[in-house]
Amino acid sequence: MCGIVGYTGTEAAKDILISGLKRLEYRGYDSAGVALERTSAHETVVDVIRRVGKVAGLESELANVDAEAACGIGHTRWATHGRPSTVNAHPHVSCDGRIAIVHNGIIENFAELRSELEGRGHTFASETDTEVFAHLIEEAYAREHDLLGALREACTHVVGAYGIAAVCADEPGVIAVARKDSPIIIGRGEHGSYVASDMIAVIDSTRDVVVLEDGQFARLTPEGISYTDAQGEPIEPPVTHVDWNIDMAEKAGYPDFMLKEICEQPRVVRDTLVGRMTGGELSIDELGLSLEELNLIDRVYVIACGTSYHAGLIAKNLIEMWARIPCEVEAASEFRYRDPIITPSTLVVAVSQSGETADTLAAIRDARIKGAKVFGITNVVGSPVARESDGVIYTKANKEIAVASTKSFIGQVVSLTLLALLLAQVKYRLTVGQVRMLFRELGDTAEQIQWIFETQKDAIHEAALACKDAHSALFVGRGMGAAIANEGALKLKEISYLHAEAYAAGEMKHGPIALIDPGFPVIAIATKSPVYDKTVSNLKECEARGAKIIVVATEGDEDIREIADHVIYIPRVRDAFCAITATVPLQLLAREVALMRGCDVDQPRNLAKSVTVE
């Protein structure tokens, strides 16, 4: 969504803020700004500098600003209310310009608050919801003359989600922070105190952080940090040590984060499986459910959004095939509004790379109110999804920077495969020996992905050339291939802006085939499986109408060349695991097409890495 960073200490705040904002830019990048305290003679003022576009533009604007400021806050924005513009960029200020704030989240009652504030004489400069916070704090500060107290008071009027940081010219060196639903981490470094919406912004300066909880507040000064609850009572939140290193989150020599993260997928498979088969027994202790409780599960809902939803489609095939219990996959934004049928023996699995997605979080809360056990699968330690689930598996993909999810998807699919195997085992649908065999084959997918990198580069490049100028594309498959087709279509459209749709191959003749004209790209998953022949028949129907056929096929399948214009091979693998291997060529294809079309593969237009609004 948006990125927040703040610093108060003995170093130049400007450099620290810009460095942090660059690390946060993947969260949202349509504008950026900073507020820097400047003390001259006998008074302090707050300078606000904002720019439309990426952080680099703001950095050049700051080149002429003196680096003396030792306290400041910064923000990189993904617009929700108000178009991307300088006047809508954060920080926003009070009428007198002495209070500045940055905010990540959404204020649902901002229109009502704005009307009341304007009625009391406040003037607004922007179209944003955020600006009401600056004026609410200004009013409370006039009464309390305490920035943190004023922020607490302002929060009592706000309905919505916020991670917010505020500075005030009358309290030099102080940053007041509050959190509800939008992530905030706070830490002490050698040279001062730090606040950010994501660990990556401050990891160079501190690894021991407090993940602020909803309703908690913090006061940062160069000397230290104090915390209170919503009533102003002092609290001592636990400190979390973060052990991943920043070079794992940097490009490490790759041209872009997306390629780096695609290439990290073999490691993600291995890391996600580490410790899962101890003493010959499959173990997912984080589930928080006993084997008896697991055995009672008679329905599974997988709730998620986007790519995580597609991981759920793959889980459905596996859970129903192996455990023989119904599994429904729902877009989180739909699940919560349709009053789903939930009983104490329903397991709800929430899948979210960021662990912050508002739709998924809201669905989790609804499911828990209805009495379901909720199990989270996420890539971010301590994220809201992790904290609000009864149990959680971390996908061990390490930080995923590119907005398009790739390695986190593979981590999700591997984790969901483990869950399906465990459910099948506790329900005696699979023997321990079968589970061990499948677990080994699951681990083999790491090498199979590596084989694709080493042998299919040219085939993928040729296929990308064949569809880069198209206006639309269809992704088709049957069974697991149909689920994979969804992810392939999303990858292509979200980073190359080439429209793409996914269809079950058998559905083509019920309408979509009307789209096919000479040269129309049809991208098929036609790996060796029980539905291979049927899929080939569907492709022949497309070929007969002049379609350009691109196929992900099983290594050694030469017959497919009779109908395919381009073939991308993957190693022979059990159908249950082909989602892990067959998705990789589609990720690479989407990236190649996007690059050919001059798109930014790491930061596609209009998108953000975590969508913390509904």
List residues near ligand AGP by CB under 6 A: 305-308, 352-354, 357, 360, 403-405, 494, 610-611
Nearer to ligand AGP, 134 or 358 (CB): 358
**385: Cβ contacts below 8 Å, ≥ 6 apart:** 350, 352, 355, 356, 357, 360, 361, 364, 376, 378, 392
Q: Closest separation between CB of residue 57 and ligand AGP, Å?
A: 24
Q: Closest separation between CB of residue 65 and ligand AGP, Å?
A: 34
Nearer to ligand AGP, 206 or 417 (CB): 417
CA atoms within 13 A on the CB side of 521: 27
Q: Which sequence positions are flagged as catalytic?
A: 2, 609
Nearer to ligand AGP, 228 or 583 (CB): 583
> Could you give the 3-state DSSP secondary structure of residue 296?
helix
Q: Closest separation between CB of residue 582 and ligand AGP, Å?
A: 17
Nearer to ligand AGP, 44 or 307 (CB): 307
Q: Closest separation between CB of residue 163 and ligand AGP, Å?
A: 16
One-letter amino acid of 77: R
For residues 573 and 581, the answer to whether their CB atoms sit within 8 Å is: yes
Q: Closest separation between CB of residue 136 and ligand AGP, Å?
A: 30
Peptide bond just before 604 cis, omega within 30 deg = no
Torsion on CA atoms 271, 273, 279, 285, rounded to nearest 10: 100
What is the Cα–Cα distance from 49 to 90, expressed in whole angstroms?
9
Q: Closest separation between CB of residue 272 and ligand AGP, Å?
A: 15
Nearer to ligand AGP, 308 or 527 (CB): 308
What is the Cα–Cα distance from 205 to 10, expressed in whole angstroms?
13
What is the Cα–Cα distance from 117 to 135, expressed in whole angstroms?
7
Per 3-state DSSP, what percentage of the chain is helix, strand, and coil (rounded to 5)? 40, 25, 35
User: Of all residues in this chain, which one has the CB nearest to ligand AGP in the complex?
Assistant: 306
Nearer to ligand AGP, 94 or 405 (CB): 405
For residues 584 and 533, the answer to whether their CB atoms sit within 8 Å is: no
Q: What angle do CA 195, 162, 381 make, to 5 degrees?
A: 60
What is the Cα–Cα distance from 545 to 242, expressed in whole angstroms?
56
Helices (H), 353-479: 358-369, 384-388, 407-426, 432-455, 457-467
Q: Closest separation between CB of residue 408 and ligand AGP, Å?
A: 7
Cα–Cα distances (Å) from 401 to 24, 259, 445, 482, 523, in that order, read 9, 11, 23, 27, 27
**Residue among 554, 569, 581 at smallest CA distance from 445:** 581
Nearer to ligand AGP, 44 or 412 (CB): 412
**Residue among 123, 122, 115, 103 at smallest CA distance from 6:** 103
Nearer to ligand AGP, 353 or 425 (CB): 353
- What is the 3-state secondary structure of 535-596? HHHHHHHHHCCCCEEEEEEECCCCHHHHCCCEEEEECCCCHHHHHHHHHHHHHHHHHHHHHH
Q: What angle do CA 49, 55, 57 make, to 5 degrees?
A: 70
Q: Closest separation between CB of residue 525 and ligand AGP, Å?
A: 18
Helices (H), 13-65: 13-24, 55-62
Q: Closest separation between CB of residue 353 and ligand AGP, Å?
A: 3
What angle, rounded to 10 degrees, do the helices at 432-455 and 407-426 form? 160
Nearer to ligand AGP, 321 or 607 (CB): 607
